[in-house]
């Protein structure tokens, strides 16, 4: 058992559960909290120690990781009545891996630093597959010396870990990631619609285009799910809509108008309005099928 560092983990959802599990499997003592106890139970069965709130996690841990859903969840976890900041002590390190607002990352950093502790923003990309296989791409913002200190821990979670710069840079990089994915998913779905209507075998078609200039993670991992009508989440539609909303908000603040991003957001809003907010991002296909049928 590794006793030199005690890990705290808050958020055991679709991705967080797998990520925390890698620390446990690597021999770390791991204190965990999740709003729904049942979602944390598999980790407790593996040896994690249950805590009743984020404050207790921070009290009993050296480094606290957070991986929750929305910016308001991050605020509650850090600033709430039983939040992390209630138990923060000098030299504590907090790492938020949630995709959230860059301005919120800066706000947390400033408060944490005022308490002689440290904060890193480190959102991830790679979905449930990347979380499960510890192959996530991790985008890190914060002080470089703190990044170097936690790098061995991040390496247990991902394969592509890049220090982006000052606090908030990780979140801005994640917005770049989501902007690319948003338009890419439109292309993936529309290509499958085109193939179907052209009389092609979609799986055979993918054998060609995944190895050419169109090749990308979404084609490799999500196109096969679409073909098999598997719309279960690797990453929730409603969470993706949250991310796209943040990207639009940040773009507006910088004086940018990104029409492709706005189109993708409107299409994903349609997916949610159809009742598929809890499905995976590949459920965009369901909205585009409806639109294409109307046009026919």
Measured CA to CA, the distance from residue 42 to residue 39 in angstroms comes to: 7
- Strand, helix or coil for residue 217: helix
Query: In Å, what is the CA distance from 284 to each residue of 3, 5, 61, 180, 295?
Result: 45, 42, 40, 15, 17
Which of these is catalytic: 14, 101, 107, 174? Answer: 174
Query: In Å, what is the CA distance from 77 to each residue of 10, 86, 97?
Result: 8, 10, 13
Measured CA to CA, the distance from residue 155 to residue 167 in angstroms comes to: 20
- Which of 119, 132, 120 lies closest to 159, judged by CA? 132
Q: What angle do CA 122, 214, 181 make, to 5 degrees?
A: 30
Assess whether 46 carries a catalytic annotation.
no
Return the active site residues: 174
């Amino acid at each position: 058992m590794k006793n030199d560092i005690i890990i705290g983990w808050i958020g055991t959802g679709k991705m967080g559960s797998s990520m925390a599990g890698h620390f446990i499997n690597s021999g770390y003592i791991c204190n965990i909290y999740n709003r729904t106890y049942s979602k944390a139970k598999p980790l407790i069965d593996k040896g994690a120690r249950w805590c009743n709130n984020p404050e207790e996690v921070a009290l009993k841990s050296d480094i606290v990781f957070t991986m929750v859903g929305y910016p308001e969840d991050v605020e509650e976890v850090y600033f709430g009545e039983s939040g992390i900041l209630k138990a923060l002590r000098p030299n504590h390190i907090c790492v938020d891996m949630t995709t959230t607002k860059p301005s919120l990352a800066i706000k947390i950093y400033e408060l944490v630093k005022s308490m002689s502790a440290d904060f890193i923003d480190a959102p991830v990309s790679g979905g449930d597959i990347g979380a499960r296989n510890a192959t996530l791409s991790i985008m890190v913002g914060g002080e470089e010396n703190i990044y170097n200190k936690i790098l061995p821990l991040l390496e247990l979670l991902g394969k592509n870990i890049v220090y982006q710069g000052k606090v908030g840079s990780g979140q801005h990089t994640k917005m770049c990631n989501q902007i690319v994915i948003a338009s890419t998913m439109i292309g993936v779905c529309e290509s499958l619609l085109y193939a179907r209507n052209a009389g092609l075998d979609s799986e055979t078609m993918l054998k060609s285009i995944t190895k050419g200039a169109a090749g990308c993670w979404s084609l490799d991992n999500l196109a096969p799910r679409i073909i098999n009508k598997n719309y279960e989440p690797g990453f929730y539609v409603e969470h993706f809509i949250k991310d796209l909303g943040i990207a639009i908000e940040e773009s507006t603040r910088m004086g940018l108008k990104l029409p492709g991003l706005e189109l993708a957001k409107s299409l994903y809003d349609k997916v949610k309005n159809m009742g598929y907010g809890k499905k995976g991002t590949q459920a965009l296909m369901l909205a585009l099928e409806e639109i294409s049928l109307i046009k026919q």
